[in-house]
A and B are shown apart, each in its own frame.
Chain A
């Protein structure tokens, strides 16, 4: 590896170094606040280094890595999300009676896995990243080890994730068997030249889609989602909902574009079916949920269903729409889970909708942020979610995907019903629930997330400009 190879990997290297340094520090002295501040600092410097790496793009480190603008954008999104999750974890994790400092170490290893996915150009790195991410998540989900539900969720996640990894691996093997390469960017030419029957390609891709679909919680691979969302500590749930899904989406888009999957009828129908099923299943199952974490789990299934439409759009502006959608979805989701995290203690998760009754009359600020993020999830104007959905519908209609667009519209109306249920309870007569005091950091973090939702909702032009000029 040359010096410029190392330089272009700088953001990832910083994240990779952090857990090692932290482990050494913890073995000498345990100080929660220090570990927390160190993590923030490291994530910030890793984010800053992205701007340093940007002039070096595009840079490939064959055969594994590709560092282009696309990977840097996703890297930025992943690191920023991890940063916000860290900020919102602070109070929650501090109250735990377990080894609290290790939480941040594992957060770093999973972020490392996610970052690798954003740069992957090769099956090996793809698999390595996804496993690094998953294995760390097993631990994070079970972090509240005195809680039975947390452990149950972790075991469920462990077993299902392993099975899905096996599928993914088998799919990769089949692809390699038929085309003799594991690099994304040379797969395409091999596929077009190859004389082997497309059955192998279809089987291979189908199996990979099973593995990926599991990570993204697409129907019919979504069964784990509500249980894991509910069982995991709230900050970890927000991490699963954002970083984990975003990074897998990054690699899926790159892979799918490299093999030009959108031109293929077979892929078209499979992905359309998955998208439509995910939208309807997610939204319909969310209708009767009384548990807000499960509700958001189902809503995330529906949202991923909307998002994979862009695989069928298959052009640059589609990717821009996807990035915009992911960013707005991440801000929204992190702020929704952030409120749950800040109101929960490690002993009792504040997760029933009934417990949020009348929040507006007790904590108007919190309730407004919560309302904003729910409205954004529902896609109501003034919020980022509206522009994101508009962008997606816009690109979908441009590509002529009317069936998908119409089912997205129908689902927006269904989805509205359960978001409204939560909003209604926020504004009804107060429930008799004691709420913990909020830290200053928590307040500032939530306020900035809410500002982000509004900014992208009211004046999205500048951000779209950035995306258009970069991608």
Chain B
């Protein structure tokens, strides 16, 4: 039941803050803060009480929803989704705090949308019924669209359309794939259901599986985003209000990565191996191209947006490496990128709130005026370039190490991305905080609320950089299950002649495979 409460608390908070917003503008913020904090507390408690729990699911609930179509309200949490929940609630609190002064029109409706997006995201991380998953997947869109369209910057309308249409188009392709999977599984087993656990292990003929996987990828790769499909991202990130950019970059992109891990790999083991070379190539292109574009921007917010493209390239690279090392790196990258890029967006927001521009050429030498803000900028730029001691370093090194064991070339090319990251990150610091001061801005440094938010984020990013173990321990059982379920499928239904089996399959010797089977 606790999983349903997580969503219900957010929904109730959403409606309450909307209602409260008609009276004054402080109560919605407090209500939103309380709702998200409650959820954070609940998930922390779940984490604490389930340390070392190796069950398939830490908590699992299944209720009928539309039984005629085999649709159920099936929510479950394992280590992977729990980490994502913690990230969502932590950044949800941050989002409320940073909007405290920035958003002062239509405050109630703003927090309504914010909490609704969080509810959708939480649903996506918890849903184990594919129809329900799609339902939450779409539920995130409408409030995000409002967030960009109502509280965004100058070109908000175009950006919000672009965001909605891209993601909706991808989502609908996934929806077709979901329904097709439903029928294929039903025709084989006679059991027509959208339930993830039952759909796992469906033996789908090769070419069909590949098509279905492409349907899922359409949704996830647009969200992630991967380079030819990334067009919506810079606009949406740039035009959204700070809280919107934060949620977009830190959480919405993660739903794509989560989808790959939770659905694409276990449901289509053969097809995903066949796709792996393409996927890894796309990842490397994303890393390098995103970094190049980031370097070329003059709008600071756009620059940060493009760094997301680059960092998410590491995620897709890691996902298609199929080994635990890289998967740990992917999870860490999701968390680290969520916090570091989120923090960069917050810094951009705080800067443009003070100097009313996001143009890099009109900044410079701000360190003397706002030392604390400058220090924050330095810390998170360093995080972004992968400085050892911060979480991003661990994530990227793990992904590279995992990739190196199978594909040296990809690891080498992706490694170049780290150099590119150094260039654009240093450019941020150089252009904004150092250099010559041309403008005489009369600005003040961070206030207490802003300091608290920044301190929280620094603590988390540095803490995870120095003690990453808890994240690994929490994610490990879930990641092993994902990898094992893929391997089991590969053993039970050996690769057919439709595929030229890629080298990755040969990595597992027969003995390890047998062990894996026994474990499951």
Inter-subunit contact B139/A381 (CB<8 Å): yes
Contact partner of B68 (CB less than 8 A), chosen from A405, A424, A427, A461, is A461
| A192 interface residue (CB < 8 Å to B) | no
- Tell me the nearest residue of chain B to A398, going by C-beta: B183
**B residues apposed to A, CB below 8 Å:** 64-69, 106, 134-135, 138-139, 141-142, 145-146, 149-150, 157, 160-161, 164-165, 168-169, 172-173, 175-176, 179-180, 183
Chain B residue nearest to A394 in the complex (CB): B179
Chain B neighbourhood of A461, CB < 8 A? 64-68
Are the CB atoms of B165 and A416 closer together than 8 Å?
Answer: yes
Q: List 9 A-B contacts (CB under 8 A).
A: A381-B138, A386-B138, A409-B175, A412-B168, A413-B165, A459-B65, A461-B64, A464-B66, A464-B68
List 6 additional A-B contacts (Cβ < 8 Å) besides A393-B175, A424-B160.
A397-B180, A409-B172, A412-B172, A413-B168, A416-B165, A428-B157
> Within 8 Å CB of A424, what residues of B?
149, 157, 160-161
Least CB distance from A280 to B in Å reads: 16
**Chain A interface, >50% SS class:** helix
Q: How many residues of A contact B (CB 8 A)?
A: 28
In angstroms, how far is the closest chain B Cβ from the Cβ of A316?
A: 13
Beta-carbon contact of A409 and B173 below 8 Å = yes
Task: Check if A465 is an interface residue, CB within 8 A of chain B.
Answer: yes
- A469 CB, min distance to chain B CBs, angstroms: 11
- Would you list the 4 A-B pairs with minimal beta carbon distance, nearest first? A381-B138, A461-B66, A413-B169, A381-B135
- A146 CB to closest chain B CB (Å) equals 38
Q: Main SS of chain B's interface residues?
A: helix
Contact B176 A380 (CB under 8 A): no
Q: State how many angstroms separate the Cβ of A26 from the closest Cβ of chain B.
A: 46
A310-323 vs B: 1/0 string, CB under 8 Å? 00000000000000
Q: Are B141 and A417 in contact (CB under 8 A)?
A: no
A420–B65 touching, CB < 8 Å: no
Hey, which chain A residues are within 8 Å of B149, CB to CB? 424, 427
Tell me how far the C-beta of B214 lies from the nearest C-beta in chain A, rounded to whole angstroms: 13
Residues of A with C-beta under 8 A to B176: 393, 397, 405-406, 409
In this assembly, does A382 line the interface, its C-beta being within 8 Å of a C-beta of chain B? yes
Does A452 interact with chain B (Cβ within 8 Å)?
Answer: no
Contact B146 A413 (CB under 8 A): no
Chain A residue with Cβ nearest B22: A364
Taking a contact as CB atoms closer than 8 A, the residue among A409, A412, A460 that contacts B66 in the complex is A460
A468 at the interface (CB under 8 A from B): yes
- Which residues of chain A (232-283) have a CB below 8 Å from chain B? none
Q: Which residues of A (367-394) have their CB < 8 Å from a CB of B? A: 375, 380-382, 386, 390, 393-394
Alpha-carbon distance between A441 and B321 when the two chains are bound, in angstroms? 62
Minimum CB–CB distance from B18 to chain A (whole Å) comes to 9
| A459 surroundings in chain B (CB, below 8 A) | 65
In this complex, what residue of A is CB-closest to B64? Answer: A461
Contact A427 B150 (CB under 8 A): yes
Chain B residues in 8 Å Cβ range of A413: 165, 168-169, 172
- Name the distance in Å between B322's Cβ and chain A's nearest Cβ: 31
Q: With a CB–CB cut-off of 8 A, which chain B residues contact A416?
A: 164-165, 168
Whether A397 lies near B168 (C-beta < 8 A) is: no
Find A397's partner among B141, B145, B179 (CB 8 Å cutoff).
Answer: B179
Q: Mark A453-471, 1 if CB is under 8 A from B, else 0.
A: 0000001110011001000
A-side contacts of B141, CB under 8 Å:
380
* Nearest opposing residue in chain A for B67, CB measure: A461
Q: Are A427 and B67 in contact (CB under 8 A)?
A: no
B263: min CB distance to chain A, Å = 18
Q: Distance (Å) between the CB of B131 and the closest chain A CB? A: 8
When distances are taken between beta carbons in the complex, the residues of chain A under 8 Å from B168 are 412-413, 416
Write out the residue numbers on chain B whose beta carbons fall within 8 Å of the beta carbon of A390. 175
CA distance A116 to B142 in the complex (A): 42
Give the chain A neighbours of B69 by CB distance below 8 A: 394, 464
In the bound complex, residues from chain A placing their C-beta under 8 Å from that of B66 are 460-461, 464
Q: Residue on A with the closest CB to B164?
A: A420
Q: Which residue of B lies closest to A317 (CB)?
A: B68
CB distance from A427 to the nearest CB of B (A): 5
By a CB distance below 8 angstroms, the chain B residues around A460 are 66
A:350-372 near B, CB below 8 Å: 361
Instruction: Report the minimum CB–CB distance from B183 to chain A (whole Å).
Output: 6
Kindly state the separation between the CA atoms of A405 and B106 in the bound complex, as whole angstroms: 40
A-side contacts of B64, CB under 8 Å: 461
Q: Please, which residue of chain A has its CB at the minimum distance from the CB of B137? A: A381
Q: Are B146 and A427 in contact (CB under 8 A)?
A: yes
Which residues from chain B contact A361 at a C-beta distance below 8 Å? 106
